[in-house]
Amino acid sequence: MPTLRELTHREDRLEGGHRLCAGCGASIAVRQILLGAGTDPVIAGCATGCLEVSTTIYPYSSWKVPFIHNAFENSSATISGVEAAFKGLKRAGKIPADKKVKFVAFGGDGGTYDIGLQALSGAMERGHDMVYVCYDNGAYMNTGIQRSSATPRGAWATTAEVGKAQQGKIEKRKDLTSIIAAHGIPYAAQASISHWKDLTTKSEKAFAVEGPAFLNVLASCPRGWRCAYNKSVEIAKVGVQTGYWPLFEVEDGVWRMTVKVRERKPIEEFLKSQGRFRHLLKPENAELLAEIQAEVDAHWEYILGRCGE
């Protein structure tokens, strides 16, 4: 794993001056992940979403690598096709056999957990040599903060309102990392923008394996989370410390906890920092808050069990 000093001397492949919101976790995630790609050429694809629309406003682009914009639901299909074409050109002798290129697809949770899940599952099952990155901000932020299957239970969203009928999203969030790990791919991991060394290490591993790899990254969204833009990384860190977002990896079927939280903070510490959860802190929602804590505890124990802790 390269040192911090070495990483700072690597080229930043996402240029500043894009139009993502201040404090956006997506750009932080992209920079850290592309640092882990090393010095080999990289081709990136990106689903329609905040990251795409804010970094590629015609006629400008913030990407310093070849970049492909595709539809909301097929980022993984597009990059798997490019990877297959690259291998085909090698077999045909049109590209040198020893030439190395790395392929990465980015998508938000809406384009990954939901409408992109079929294409992602197919790419993983077919075994393409590519990395798929989900920047998980817990809703369809680009189109108006609608709930996704990554939205936590109890969170406010414009399609999961707070009122007499319900208190935010009713359903539990989907455990996508476990679902993708179940495909039997060489590498899958969960990471957070708050733990740069853990994330860049996982990125380096993901790009190094032969075959498909998957990274699910907690990427805070000040606009959708209703939090201060300068607290974005800090809040993501609390998400790890409460056990809401465990940091682990699955390498050739072996689960391992990469950041061990000895004494977890109560989930309330994560919720109270975000306006989307403020209703949960009212006395009348104490029972719902307790249920959410119990769900976080149960999932934490599940991850610990898979990791043999």
The rounded percent of the chain whose pLDDT value lies above 90 is 93
Please give the pLDDT value at position 1: 66
Confidence at 105, pLDDT banded by 50, 70, 90: very high
**Alpha carbon separation from 252 to 183, 185, 186, 218, 309 (Å, rounded):** 11, 7, 5, 23, 18
CA–CA dist 30, 193 (Å, integer): 9
Does the pLDDT value for residue 16 go beyond 70?
Answer: yes
Nearest by Cα to 173 from 187, 182, 160: 160
pLDDT in tens, 19-35: 999 999 999 999 999 99
- Domain borders along the chain are 4-306
Q: Are 125 and 183 in contact (CB under 8 A)?
A: yes
Band of pLDDT at residue 18, cut at 50, 70 and 90: very high
Helices (H), the chain: 4-8, 25-35, 50-55, 75-91, 117-126, 176-181, 196-208, 222-225, 232-241, 268-271, 286-306
**pLDDT digits over 212-244, tens only?**
999 999 999 999 999 999 999 999 999 999 999
Residue 200 corresponds to which tokens in the numbers above? 């860049």
Tell me: pLDDT of 7 over 80: no
Q: What is the pLDDT of residue 39?
A: 87
Confidence grade of residue 106 (pLDDT, cut at 50, 70, 90): very high
Q: What mean pLDDT is reported for the chain?
A: 96
Task: Tell me, yes or no, if the pTM score tops 0.85.
Answer: yes
Q: Is residue 134 over pLDDT 70?
A: yes
Rounded CA-CA distance 35/102 in Å is 13
CATH says 4-306 is which class? alpha beta
The answer to whether residue 9 scores a pLDDT higher than 70 is no
Q: What is the 3-state secondary structure (H, E, C) of 49-101?
A: CHHHHHHCCCCCCCECCCEEECCCCCHHHHHHHHHHHHHHHHHCCCCCCCCCC
Alpha-carbon distance 55 to 42, whole Å? 17
Structure confidence by residue, pLDDT tens digits, 157-172: 999 999 999 999 999 9
How does residue 306 score in pLDDT terms, banded at 50, 70 and 90? very high
pLDDT of residue 17: 86
Q: How confident is the model at residue 10 (pLDDT cuts 50, 70, 90)?
A: confident
Structural contact between residues 187 and 160, judged by C-beta atoms closer than 8 angstroms: no
Give 289's pLDDT tier (boundaries 50, 70, 90): very high
Which residues, other chains included, contact 126 with Cβ-Cβ below 8 Å and sequence gap of 6+? 80
Q: Is a pLDDT exceeding 80 seen at residue 56? A: yes
CB-CB contact of 173 with 160 (8 Å): no
